[in-house]
């Protein structure tokens, strides 16, 4: 098997999300998306405490046509939605949602985090859905660290959130083939195998690493070529990274705010349906 060559290493940029500064590795100056991945945000917040849960985080908003996924690294994230789901996921866990034909959800820190204060670190990324599954019923899966399978060595731990990795099956249901991993490594090397035709991105949360011989530093996005299977990851210090890889869907993408469809007409329909309450009504409980 051959190592994937590196196409480009792209530093992430800080963007302002309604008053909150987050790192944005994707989209970037080089690409609007890497099919099927549409967006990656890395946020590190400190909650000051003595706040009510309803005062912090993001209140009810709709989505349609893709999967917004949140990897939780520090602090807890509570999800509530218009289909009645309500779950808190802590560090090492994942909030997985397929918005399908439409859902309204809120994303907030846990009650404890709002009241006592503390750090929260998350990565949210958006995965596109093939046209024929965009109007499926919404699907939600809260996944704790304990429920996430992994491979492990003295020097590394790699969690498999979605896709198959050497017989380990990630729990999240996807609508196109992909492999989504989150890793921690210290002072050693690991070879990861990714199908060569999968579009592949690696994002580094902290520290620095060598990936297939190229030095990568914290908050860099590594864009790999589809010319091999191996990611040789060599760490000189303790670092954390994620691997987003998947078969390209190869369809036109038209997005507007929280909706990702194929055509402008479908976007207008999504706006209308959301306004008419067809994505449900979320009455949050605190
Ligand atoms: Mn959302």
Determine whether 244 is exposed, middle or buried from the number of CB atoms within 10 Å of its CB (0-12, 13-18, 19+).
buried
What spacing in Å lies between the alpha carbon of 281 and ligand 1's midpoint?
14
Full domain range(s) for residue 203: 6-275
What spacing in Å lies between the alpha carbon of 83 and ligand 1's midpoint?
14
- Answer whether residue 283 is part of any domain: no
What spacing in Å lies between the alpha carbon of 191 and ligand 1's midpoint?
34
- Answer whether residue 44 is part of any domain: yes
- Convert the pLDDT of each residue in 119-174 to its tens digit: 999 999 999 999 999 999 999 999 999 999 999 999 999 999 999 999 999 999 99
Q: How many CB atoms lie within 10 A of CB 47?
A: 20
Decide if 12 contacts 202 (C-beta within 8 A). Answer: no
The rounded radius of gyration (Å) of the Cα atoms in the chain is 18
Residues in the chain predicted with pLDDT less than 50, given as ranges, are none
Residue 275's φ and ψ, nearest 5 degrees, are -65, -35
- Answer whether residue 281 is part of any domain: no
- Determine the pLDDT at residue 158: 97
- Answer whether residue 235 is part of any domain: yes
Beta bridge partners of 255: 260
- Answer whether residue 123 is part of any domain: yes
- Answer whether residue 1 is part of any domain: no
Cβ burial 180-211 (10 Å sphere, 16+ → b, else e):
bbbbbbeeeebebebbbebbbbbbbbbbebeb
| CATH number for position 115 | 2.60.120.10
- The total of structural domains in the chain comes to 1
- Determine the pLDDT at residue 20: 86
Which helix (H) or strand (E) segment holds residue 112: the answer is helix 111-116
- Answer whether residue 85 is part of any domain: yes
- Answer whether residue 280 is part of any domain: no
What spacing in Å lies between the alpha carbon of 63 and ligand 1's midpoint?
7
């Amino acid at each position: 098997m051959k190592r994937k060559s590196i196409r480009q290493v792209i530093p992430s940029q800080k963007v302002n999300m309604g008053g909150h500064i987050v790192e944005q590795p994707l989209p970037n100056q080089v690409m609007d998306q890497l099919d099927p991945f549409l967006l990656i945000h890395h946020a590190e917040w400190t909650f000051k405490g003595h706040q009510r849960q309803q005062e912090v985080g993001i209140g009810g908003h709709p989505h349609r046509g893709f999967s917004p996924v949140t990897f939780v690294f520090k602090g807890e994230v509570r999800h509530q939605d218009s289909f009645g789901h309500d779950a808190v996921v802590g560090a090492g866990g994942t909030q997985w949602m397929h918005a399908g034909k439409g859902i309204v959800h809120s994303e907030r820190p846990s009650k404890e985090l709002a009241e006592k204060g503390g750090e929260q670190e998350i990565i949210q990324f958006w995965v596109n859905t093939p046209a024929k599954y965009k109007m499926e019923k919404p699907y939600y899966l809260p996944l704790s660290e304990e429920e996430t399978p992994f491979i492990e060595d003295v020097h590394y731990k790699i969690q498999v959130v979605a896709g198959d990795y050497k017989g380990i099956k990630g729990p999240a249901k996807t609508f196109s083939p992909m492999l989504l991993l989150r890793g921690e490594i210290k002072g050693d090397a690991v070879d990861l195998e990714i199908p060569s035709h999968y579009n592949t991105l690696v994002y580094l949360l902290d520290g620095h690493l060598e990936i297939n011989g190229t030095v990568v530093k914290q908050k860099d996005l590594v864009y790999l070529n589809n010319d091999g299977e191996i990611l040789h990851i060599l760490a000189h210090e303790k670092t954390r990274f994620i691997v987003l890889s998947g078969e390209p869907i190869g369809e036109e993408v038209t997005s507007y705010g929280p909706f990702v469809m194929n055509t402008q007409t479908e976007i207008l329909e999504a706006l209308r349906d959301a306004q008419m309450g067809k994505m449900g009504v979320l009455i949050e409980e605190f």
